[in-house]
Amino acid sequence: MNHRIALAATLLFTTLGLTGCTGAKPDEVCKHADELASKDGSSIDAKQCAFVWEMRYETLSVFEYKDKADCAMEASSLDTLNGC
């Protein structure tokens, strides 16, 4: 029974990943944040950014993470991104 549940979960997450339903990966979000910081003439702590977004990726539900990642990727300023 547990193998069936694990298989079903694996198939679900694989399908979500292939269809783009999981949002941007943490490294993509941090790259975008770095680009926004460069526009402002500032910088971000890459290790801190990676840590925060990896934690969100691992601890939030797929849909909560996708909402936050989409918000971050659509941000046009660091202030907007920090609100995500």
- Which tens digits make up the pLDDT trace of 35-49? 999 998 999 999 999
Would residue 17 count as lying in a domain?
no
Q: What count of Cα atoms within 13 Å lies in the side-chain half-sphere of residue 72?
A: 26
pLDDT in tens, 31-82: 999 999 999 899 999 999 999 999 999 999 999 999 999 999 999 999 999 9
Would residue 10 count as lying in a domain?
no
The backbone region for 41, taken as left when phi is positive above 0, alpha when psi lies in -120 to 50, beta otherwise, is left
Residue position matching structure tokens 């909560």: 64
Would residue 48 count as lying in a domain?
yes
The residue segments making up the domain with residue 42 are 23-82
Would residue 54 count as lying in a domain?
yes
Q: What is the pTM of this model?
A: 0.72
Closest CA to 34 of 81, 84, 67, 71: 81
DSSP at 76: S
